[in-house]
Chain A
C-alpha cells in the first residue's frame, strides 16, 4: 500500500542531508572565537573575543572590503537595468530569436566560471585593456544579469498580462502604466533580484581572480589567507562578515517573493 507518511529511513536520510548542508557553516562561527591561532585544533582550547578587535584594526582588510562593496553595488545596478530591460522585452512579445537570447543570458552562469574568467582575461589581453575596478565589474554585471532576469521574468509571467492592457485601456500612456502598474508589481521581484545579484557579486572569486589583476576583493583576500594562512581566527571573522553579506540578502529575497509561485534563488 502506498501511504502518505514517509518511512523512518527516508525521514532520517532527508534530515541528515539537511544537517550535512548546515553544520559545516556553524564551525566557522566557533573558530572565530578560538584562542588557538596556528592550527584548526578541535575542540578549541579556549574562547576569546579578541579576534574581532584584531580584525577591525587590520589595515589590509578594509581596502578589499571597500572594493567588494563598490564592485557589487555597481554590478548590481547594471544588472538591474539590463536584466529588467531584457525581461520586459521577453514578456512583452514573442519574436524571432527568443530562445537564443534566453540561452545567451543563461550562458555566463551555466558555463563554469573559469571559462567566463578566462574568456574575459583573453579579451583584456587581446585588446590591451588594463585591469581596473571596471574590468571586475564587467564580469560581475555579466553573470548577475541572469539573476535579475530570472526574478523579473517569473514575476512578469505571474502578472496577468491583462493589467498592462487594462491600464492603457483606461487611458494611461506607456509611462503612466510603467509607474503606476508595472513598477509596483515588479518592485519586490526586482529588489529580490538585486539582493541576490549583490550577494553573488560580493562573494564571487572564480571569475574575479581572472579580471582583478593585482587588485584584491574581500573573497580574493580570503583566498590568499586560505592558501597561506596567517592569523587563522581573523580569517574566520572575515568569513562571518562575508557569510552575513550573502546570507541576509537571500533571506530578504525569500521573504520578498515567497507569496508567489516563483521563489527567488532557484536559478543560481
Chain B
C-alpha cells in the first residue's frame, strides 16, 4: 500500500446515483425498472443491493457497468459523471450471474483477457493471470477450458478475470446463486476476506437476505424500482422502515395498528422479531394467546401463537420445553423490541 494515498479520492464516494430512473417500454406506459434512486456507495465498502426479482437491483448494477443507460438522472463513479462513458472505459468490472466465461479460451486466457485488450504483452499478462488464479485458489488450472470446470471453479475464474484489471469497483450479480448451500457459505466467507484484503469497493446484488446481512457493510433494500431502505445490516434488521423491509429481511412479525396497540405501542404498523419474544406462563400476563403449531429449525423451534388480530411467531431456543398446540400461552418482550414503522 502506497503511503501517498490521495486524500480526496479517499473521501469521495465510489458510486453515486442522483435521481436515477431507468424506464423500459413506450414512454406512454413505461415499466419503471429503476425509479428515482438516490444512492451513495462509500469507497472500500462492501455494499449489497437486496430485493426480490424485478425490484430493480440488477438494473442498478447494469447502470453502473454501463450496460443500461439512465432514462434520467446522473451516475457518478468516483465523482465523474459517466453519462457519456461506454462500459469498456469504465474501470469497473463485473462477475456475471452465469459467469459468462469465454468458452473458446482456456482459463488463463479468460483471466488475461482484460489485459490482452489493453495491449499488455503475452508473458506479462500470463504471469498476472496465474497470480490471480492463485489468489482465487485455482493455481494450475490455467490450461483447462471453462467447460471442464465445476460451477464453483467457474465462479472463481470469473472473479479472477474481473479482478485482474484492478478495477476501482467490482460488481457481483448474484454470483453465488448457482452454487449449492455449503459451497455458497464457504464462498461468502472468501469473498468477504478478499474484499477486505484488496480494499476494492464491492457492489453485490442478491435476493438472499441472509447473504446480504452477513456480508455487507451497508445495504439497500429494493422494492419496485425504488430503494425501500438503506443502512447497515443491523439498522435494517432491527429497525425496518416499512412493512416491505420487515417482511423481506428476516421473518419478522408484522403487526397491524390495532395489534400494535394491544402489544403496548401506538396505533401504527410495527415489527417484532420472533427471537425478541419469549414464552411465559399464560396466567397473569398482559399478552396471551393459543399455540397453533411449532416447527423444528435445528438451532431452535419456531412456535406460532394466535392472538386476536394476528398470528405471532416466536423462536424458542433448543432445549427449552415446547408448549403443546392448543394450549394457552403468554408472550413477553422488551419494550424497545417493538419497532414502529412509517406509513402503512
Q: Is A223 an interface residue (CB 8 A)?
A: no
Give A140-185 interface residues, CB cut-off 8 Å to B: 160, 162-163, 165-173, 176, 180-181, 184-185
CA distance A141 to B51 in the complex (A): 51
Q: A170-B93, A173-B88, A176-B117 are in contact. Are A165 and B100 (CB under 8 A)?
A: yes
Chain B 261-288 per-residue mask, 1 if CB under 8 angstroms from chain A, else 0? 0000000000000000000000000000
Q: Is B332 an interface residue (CB 8 A)?
A: no
Q: How far is the CB of A186 from chain B (nearest CB, A)?
A: 10
Give A238-258 interface residues, CB cut-off 8 Å to B: none
| Of the residues B86, B96, B117, B161, contact of A162 by C-beta under 8 Å | B96
Q: Are the C-beta atoms of B96 and A185 separated by less than 8 Å?
A: no
| Of the residues B93, B102, B114, B116, contact of A163 by C-beta under 8 Å | B102
CA distance A185 to B66 in the complex (A): 24
Which residues in B have their C-beta under 8 angstroms from that of A162? Answer: 96-100
Q: Are the C-beta atoms of B104 and A165 separated by less than 8 Å?
A: no
CA distance A170 to B110 in the complex (A): 10
Which residues in A have their C-beta under 8 angstroms from that of B104? Answer: 184-185
**Residue from A163, A168, A171, A185 whose CB has the most chain B CB atoms within 10 Å:** A171
CA distance A165 to B173 in the complex (A): 13
Q: Are the C-beta atoms of B117 and A172 separated by less than 8 Å?
A: yes
CA distance A168 to B114 in the complex (A): 9
**Residue from A165, A169, A172, A173 whose CB has the most chain B CB atoms within 10 Å:** A169
| Of the residues A167, A169, A185, contact of B65 by C-beta under 8 Å | A169
Q: How many B residues touch A, CB cutoff 8 Å?
A: 27
Q: Which residue of A lies closest to B171 (CB)?
A: A169
| Of the residues B87, B97, B103, contact of A169 by C-beta under 8 Å | B87
**Residue from A163, A166, A173 whose CB has the most chain B CB atoms within 10 Å:** A166
CA distance A177 to B97 in the complex (A): 20
Q: Which residue of B lies closest to A185 (CB)?
A: B104
Which residues in B have their C-beta under 8 angstroms from that of A171? Answer: 88-89, 114, 117-118, 165
Q: How far is the CB of B312 from chain A (nearest CB, A)?
A: 45
Give B94-148 interface residues, CB cut-off 8 Å to A: 94, 96-104, 113-114, 116-118
Q: Are the C-beta atoms of B88 and A168 separated by less than 8 Å?
A: yes
Chain A 59-97 per-residue mask, 1 if CB under 8 angstroms from chain B, else 0? 000000000000000000000000000000000000000
Q: Are the C-beta atoms of B88 and A166 separated by less than 8 Å?
A: no
Q: Are the C-beta atoms of B88 and A180 separated by less than 8 Å?
A: no
Which residues in A have their C-beta under 8 angstroms from that of B113? Answer: 167, 170, 172, 180
**Residue from B65, B93, B98, B113 whose CB has the most chain A CB atoms within 10 Å:** B113
Q: How many A residues touch B, CB cutoff 8 Å?
A: 17
Q: How far is the CB of B146 from chain A (nearest CB, A)?
A: 10
Q: How far is the CB of B192 from chain A (nearest CB, A)?
A: 23
CA distance A170 to B118 in the complex (A): 9
CA distance A172 to B117 in the complex (A): 6
CA distance A162 to B86 in the complex (A): 16
Q: Are the C-beta atoms of B117 and A170 separated by less than 8 Å?
A: yes
CA distance A97 to B220 in the complex (A): 39
CA distance A163 to B94 in the complex (A): 12
Which residues in B have their C-beta under 8 angstroms from that of A172? Answer: 88, 113, 117
Chain B residues proximal to chain A, CB less than 8 Å? 65-67, 86-89, 92-94, 96-104, 113-114, 116-118, 161-162, 165
9 A-B pairs in the complex with CB atoms less than 8 angstroms apart: A162-B100, A163-B101, A165-B67, A165-B100, A166-B96, A167-B102, A169-B67, A185-B102, A185-B103
List 13 other contacts, CB 8 Å, given A162-B96, A166-B101: A163-B100, A165-B67, A165-B94, A166-B100, A167-B102, A168-B66, A168-B86, A168-B87, A168-B88, A170-B162, A171-B117, A180-B117, A184-B104
